[in-house]
Amino acid sequence: MATLQQVVADIKSLKIQGAQATAEAALLAWDAAKDKKLASKLLKTARPTEPMLFNAIAAAEKGADPKKLIVKFKSDKEKIYKFGANLIKNNSTVFTHCHSSTVVGILKEAKKQGKKFTVNNTETRPMFQGRITASDLAKAGIKVNHYVDSAALQAMKSADIFLIGADWISPKGVANKIGTEMFAEDAYERKIPVYCCSHSWKFSKDNITIEQRPAKEVWRNAPKNVMVKNPAFEMAEAKYVKGVISEVGVLNFKDFVKREVARHGRL
């Protein structure tokens, strides 16, 4: 098993990525750590935009069994796949941005159901996470049109639905990879429904700071006086998001938030 320090380093470097994968790795590291207080501090600060990690560690601190939580998360994800696949129509085009294992799982499930559809996805610079999405879908026999980021609006024109993952769901909207907000706004204007595909444990009322990634990811040796800006995420406003596909079903955004605010009040 990886050490606590190794897990923290892997989360920071994005070697471990995806909200659920990050939460699960953190739970295992926390469970194995002798100093739980130190483990909680290091894991919660490893990536400042992962509410599922925060919520999972908080639950473990209150006595939840980390291994049972991981089993629950995996079971819940299968439910999300089925709920989401029901929204994919035959002979449709799905637009997605960056990489979400939940979105990929939904599309694979739709494929298993015998539905025929095409996916338009973005490369997602500077780390090219969109290539992971395209590769995963292609291996599953799903046709993918892979677009450079600057052609994303062209890709949107033929889309019937826009599926996004989430790093954080707040009452104000959905935080996802940079670029999501402008794509969601464009989809809204075109009357293309936008659905957030996420476990409910990614909800948080806290005001989470958007992570600024290292400039070297964009331009390793930028000229003097060139200040590289590399925000990792941004918030797509709630008005652009039609609904949330989670383990509890498909809810419109307002109803999902009401449920989570009430649930978090009871935690």
CB 110 within 8 A of CB 85: yes
Residue limits of CATH 3.40.50.10470 in the chain: 77-266
- Identify the pLDDT of residue 206: 84
Coil/strand/helix, residue 177: strand
Each residue of 54-110: pLDDT tens digit? Answer: 999 999 999 999 999 999 999 999 999 999 999 999 999 999 999 999 999 999 999
DSSP character at residue 118: E
- Ramachandran region, residue 138 (left: φ > 0; alpha: ψ -120 to 50; beta: rest): alpha
CA 167, distance to chain mean position in Å, is 4
Full DSSP string of 52-83: HHHHHHHHHHTT--HHHHHHHHHHHHHHHHHH
**What's the pLDDT score for residue 17?**
81
Torsion of CA 173, 174, 179, 181, to 10 degrees: -20
* CATH class of the domain whose range is 77-266: alpha beta
**Structure pTM?**
0.89
pLDDT tens-digit profile of 181-196? 999 999 999 999 999 9
Q: Which residue of the set 10, 76, 98, 136 is catalytic?
A: 98
Q: Please identify which residue in the block is written with the tokens 């990929």.
A: 104
Please identify which of the residues 136, 167, 186, 196 carries the catalytic annotation.
Answer: 167
pLDDT confidence of residue 266: 53
Percent of residues, the chain, with pLDDT higher than 90: 89
- How deeply is 150 buried, as exposed, middle or buried, from its count of CB atoms within 10 A (0-12, 13-18, 19+)? exposed
DSSP per-residue string spanning 22-55: HHHHHHHHHHH-S-HHHHHHHHHHH-TT-HHHHH
31 in active site? no
**Residue extent(s) of CATH 1.20.120.420 domains in the chain:** 4-64
Q: Give CATH for domain 4-64.
A: 1.20.120.420
Per-residue pLDDT tens for 186-225? 999 999 999 999 999 999 998 888 888 999 999 999 999 9
Edge-to-edge strand list for the sheet holding 168-170: 168-170, 173-177, 233-237
DSSP label of 178: T
Q: What is the C-alpha to C-alpha distance for residues 262 and 267, in angstroms, rounded to an integer? A: 9
The residue length of the chain stands at: 267
DSSP string, 243-256: EEEETTEEEEHHHH
pLDDT of residue 2: 74
Inter-residue contact 160 to 63 (CB < 8 Å) = no
Is 167 in the active site? Answer: yes
